[in-house]
Each structure stands twice: as structure tokens, then as C-alpha cells.
Amino acid sequence: MELVVSLEEARKTILKNTVQLEAETIEISVSLYRILAEDIYSEELIPPFHNCAMDGYAVLHSAIIGASKKEPMELELIGQLTAGYTTQKTVGEGTAIKVMTGAPLPDGADTVVPIEITFEEGNRVKIFKEIAKNDNIRFAGEDVKPGQLLIHKGEKITPYVIGMLAALNKKYIKVTRVPKVSLISTGDELSDIGKVLLPGQIRDINTYSLSAQVVENGANLINMSRTKDDRDEIQSKLEAARGSDMIIISGGVSVGDCDFVKEVLHDMGMKEVFWRIAVKPGKPVLFGILDKTLIFGLPGNPVSAVVAFQQFVLPALFKMKGNNTSPWKEITAILEEDIIKKRGLFHFIRGKTTNTEDKTYVKPYSLQSSGAFSSMIFSDCLIMMPEELTHVKSGEEIKIQMLN
Ligand SMILES: Nc1nc2c(c(=O)[nH]1)N[C@H]1C(S)=C(S)[C@@H](COP(=O)(O)OP(=O)(O)OC[C@H]3O[C@@H](n4cnc5c(N)ncnc54)[C@H](O)[C@@H]3O)O[C@H]1N2
Ligand code: MOO
């Protein structure tokens, strides 16, 4: 059977068929890890007024020139100001106002002398050191100016972004809607955690690993089910998932006698976009569209399923959410063992990295079977061997995709 698409074509085609979801308005307090659907400009001057960056004394710089331990400058204390208050008093030559961090800079003052280099007695304060003019002042607008573009559409909302939004007086923001995803695992052999395995049965891994990948990537898992390799049951689970933004179905997409997924989806009216990609693992991936729902048929082999999710489902989720960053962290590493493969398929080889001060090394994991899930635990990256590459020698550089 002919392989229809390359890795690159598959990804391009998936993105072409994926639409960014609409925007909705939410409160920033519940916006963590959502994706911004608008550029955020400041309407504020931050800080809104000149203020003191240290606990100390607001003075006129000309009054402390030449101050030293031996010959301190003595000033008259004419008041005190803490953060959150204002004063009508003005600092002049020979006077000072005691200030706390965050207090507005009193009129007349142009320098704040930290408390550590002073001595206060009665209504006088001695300054033991000259410091530079404007020291320890935070000027109005030095952080943010009105009209300034601070956060871009497509950025992920982190705790730092939320803090910035609060500073900007933005209670509500526009974000893209969270994708609604349904997940179906197929296979007569699947048994759930806690049940005694009957002859021929195995544990269902994909339901757990794929659902975690969905959630990890900021999607809403609205429907999760397991079905036998039975046409009617597969169809009824798929019907229940209709209307999702995406359906991920694992197993039954290859060429076996029980691989009904494709057939059932066709009967339901799915438009097949492609089936089978020149990659390993993940070869039998099916991609189609049912009404407006993206359909990903992922291979049943548990390693193939999570690797295929990472390569093909992930970019679609990123596009749906309007996330403008790359779904993958790819770096160059030095190979520690030869890798030899046949021409034709793009291989993602599970590997483990080690780091020295300035270099990353990578070793392929000893067991590359698509059924051996422990390889995902003992690896932290996928070594990328493009279609035409057949031999990379130990000591040579190779691209890797980090798994976490
Ligand atoms: N003659 C051919 N046979 C196979 C081909 C092929 O091209 N020609 N492709 C192989 C490749 S590559 C893969 S990957 C698998 C994919 O097969 P299916 O997607 O149809 O998946 P199943 O046959 O249902 O299952 C494959 C394998 O994975 C186990 N499995 C399934 N679901 C789960 C689950 N939820 N948790 C854990 N393990 C699961 C299942 O028991 C099978 O061992 O086809 C190859 N065959
Ligand atoms: O490509 Mo299958 O997806 O090797 O295991």
C-alpha cells in the first residue's frame, strides 16, 4: 500500500484544514494558560507618579554634595510620608522629608538617600555620603507608557502576563475558546486498570496517555470512551462525540480484519484528507473532517499514539487556540551511537539526553518497539532522522525534539 504523505505535507495539510476558534471574553483571574486573542496596549502610566524606591530621606541633591562620614550634611526634617499618602510639603535647600518605599516623591526633592547612610536625631538628619542625583527614584511611566504594546495576540497567558494585565487595569480580556476534544480508544483486547486481565487482554494505555496530552495542551476533554472493535459500537461512540472540535480515536486504523474505524467514519460522512504518513512510529495516522470536526485516527500501538499526537494533533491544537509559538522544542545534539535506518520514512527515535556545560549528547534507547511504553519513560527526546537519511554516525550532530 502506498504511503500518501510526507511528515511535512501532513503537517501542512492539517494546518490548512484547521481553523482558529472564536474569541471569548473572560476574567484574568481564570485566564491562566489560555491564549490571548487581542493585542494588549497600555492606557496607563506605570508607575503613575514619581515615587521612592528606598526607605530613606527625600532631599535636594545640591544639599548633599560633598557629604561624607567625616563631614556629614545636616538637614532639617520637615515631615514623613508613607506609601499610599501624599503631602503638601515641599523639600527645599536644607530640608528633608522622611519617606518609605512606594511613597510619592515629595515636591522639590530630586534624590532619595537610603536610611542606611543617615542618622536621625530629633528633627534633624545627618547624611554621611553623597549619592548621585535622581538615585532611588522610580519615575512616572518608566515601566510602562500609555499606548505601549505589551502583550501580543497569540501569546500564552502566564502568571507574569496576568500580573501585567492587573497592572494595566484590565479585568477582562479576549482569549480564544478552549478546543472541545473527544477521545475514543478502540480494541477488544483492552482492559481497564484494576480489572483482572483475561487471556489475550492488555491494559488500556491510550485512554490515559492521550487524555493527559489533551489536557496538558489546554484543551477540554468533553467525552472519553472505550469501544470494542465493533462497527456499531464504534459508530455510536463517534455519534456521541459529534460536535466536538476534534475527535481523537486510537486503534483500528491500520489494515487488519478488525480495523473498522476508517470504514465507519466514511459511512458517517467523513471527508478523508489523508491516511498513512511516511513516519515511524505513527505510520497509519488518519486525518479527516466530519462536518466541522477534525478527526485524528491514531495508531493503537501506545508509543505510536503518543508520538503521533505530539507530531500531528499538537500543531492542530496550537492553531485552534491561536497559539503563535512552535509546538515543538527542537535542538541539536551529538549522537552517542550510530543510527542506521532504511530510506523512506521519517523516524522519531526515542532517546535520552545528557548535558555538559556547553553541549547536549543523545543516546538512542535500546528498545524501539512501538508497543514498548517503558521507552517513553526512559527517554526524554525524539531523535529526528529525516526520510532520506540512512546513517548518522556516533559523534555527529543530529536534531532532536524534546519531550517535556
Ligand atoms: N500488515 C500490516 N500490519 C500493520 C501495519 C501495516 O502497515 N501493515 N502497521 C503497523 C503499525 S505501524 C501500527 S502502529 C499498527 C497500528 O494498528 P491500528 O491502529 O490498527 O491499531 P490496533 O491494531 O488496534 O492496535 C495495534 C496495537 O496496539 C495495541 N493497542 C491498541 N489500543 C491500545 C490501547 N488503548 N492501549 C494499549 N495498547 C493498545 C493493540 O493491542 C495492538 O497491539 O498496526 C501495525 N500493523
Ligand atoms: O508506525 Mo507504527 O505507528 O510503527 O508503530
Choose which residue among 254, 307, 309 to substitute to test ligand 1 binding: the one with the highest number of ligand atoms within 8 A of its C-beta: 254
Which residue minimizes the CA distance to atom 3 of ligand 2? Answer: 282
- Closest residue by Cα to atom 4, ligand 2, is 281
Q: Are 153 and 37 in contact (CB under 8 A)?
A: yes
Residue type, position 108, single letter: G
**Secondary-structure percent of the chain, ordered helix, strand, coil, rounded to 5:** 20, 35, 45
- Global ipTM: 0.98
Class of domain 7-21+178-321: alpha beta
Instruction: Write down the CATH superfamily of domain 51-138.
Output: Molybdopterin biosynthesis moea protein, domain 3. (2.170.190.11)
Encode the chain (404 residues) as per-residue pLDDT tens digits. Answer: 555 799 999 999 999 999 999 999 999 999 999 999 999 999 999 999 999 999 999 999 999 999 999 999 999 999 999 999 999 999 999 999 999 999 999 999 999 999 999 999 999 999 999 999 999 999 999 999 999 999 999 999 999 999 999 999 999 999 999 999 999 999 999 999 999 999 999 999 999 999 999 999 999 999 999 999 999 999 999 999 999 999 999 999 888 888 899 999 999 999 999 999 999 999 999 999 999 999 999 999 999 999 999 999 999 999 999 999 999 999 999 999 999 999 999 999 999 999 999 999 999 999 999 999 999 999 999 999 999 999 999 999 999 999 98
Domains of the chain, by residue range, sit at 7-21+178-321, 23-46+142-176, 51-138, 330-402
By alpha-carbon position, which residue is closest to atom 2 of ligand 2?
281
Report CA(246)–ligand 2 centroid distance (Å): 22
Please enumerate in sequence order all residues whose Cβ is within 8 A of that of 122, keeping only pairs 6 or more positions apart, or say none. none
CATH 2.40.340.10 fits 330-402, yes or no: yes
Contacts 24+ apart (CB under 8 A), 186-189: 186/226, 186/227, 186/228, 186/229, 186/234, 186/249, 186/250, 186/251, 186/252, 186/261, 186/300, 187/228, 187/229, 187/251, 187/252, 187/300, 188/228, 188/229, 188/258
CB distance 347 to ligand 2 below 6 Å: no
Query: What pLDDT score does 375 carry?
Result: 97
CATH code for the part of the protein at 23-46+142-176: 3.90.105.10
